Amino acid sequence: MLRLLPLAVVVLLQFACSSIDCPVDNVVEVNYMVKAFDGDNEVADTLKDTLNIWSRRFDGTDTLLYNSGTGVKSFSLPMSYTEPEDVLVFKVTDTLHVTQIDTVWVSKENIAHFESVDCPTRYFHQLTAVRSTHVRIDTIIINNPSVTYDSSVKHLHIHFKD
């Protein structure tokens, strides 16, 4: 009887473990691509000035999301899980130390995403609208509204003024 006890424990432990591995490093971020207009066409561009981005939270605190980027061609920012709109502050500082600040509002639908009952809920997002002030930002265009784990998708095209 004692010889069968270790075998029974191994069998029970095998069935107690889940076969689903919860993703621990999958991040849901919105990806921006810096673009310029060449006639009617969009072309890749580079922001040569220094870029800082803060998230303005509804509780009154701000969080730095992107710090001192220069030579920026693209960047990724996390999104809030359940707020219907993210408010971002873009601070662009040129080589003469002149700073210009824009506010960006990204409206979205939040979609609960379940991997397994053993895993925590993640949220994917469907971008519904984007608007901004126009101090240094010219336009922002939704390129692909579906924000998921796929980091290769460029969701928003952002055009800066010269």
Quick: pLDDT tens for 82-134.
Answer: 889 999 999 999 999 999 999 999 999 999 887 777 777 788 999 999 999 99
Is residue 158 within 8 A of residue 143, CB to CB? The reply is no
Is residue 137 within 8 A of residue 159, CB to CB? The reply is yes
Cβ contacts of residue 71 below 8 Å, gap of 6+? 46, 47, 48
pLDDT: is 30 or 23 the higher one? 30
Kindly state the average pLDDT of the residues 15-28: 62
Q: How far apart are alpha carbons 3 and 122 in whole angstroms?
A: 45
Q: Please name the residue that has the structure tokens 């730095």.
A: 64
Q: How far apart are alpha carbons 153 and 32 in whole angstroms?
A: 9
DSSP strand pairing (156-160 vs 29-38): parallel
Handedness of CA 50, 34, 39, 107 (dihedral sign): negative
* Domain residue limits, the chain: 27-160
Report DSSP state, residue 72: B
Architecture of the CATH domain 27-160: Sandwich (2.60)
Average pLDDT in the chain: 86
Q: How far apart are alpha carbons 110 and 112 in whole angstroms?
A: 7
Q: How far apart are alpha carbons 151 and 162 in whole angstroms?
A: 28
Is residue 139 within 8 A of residue 159, CB to CB? The reply is yes
Per-residue pLDDT tens digits for 66-87: 999 999 999 999 998 888 999 9
Helices and strands, number each (H, E), in the chain: 1, 11
pTM: 0.81
**By C-alpha distance, which of 135, 158, 156 is closest to 145?**
156
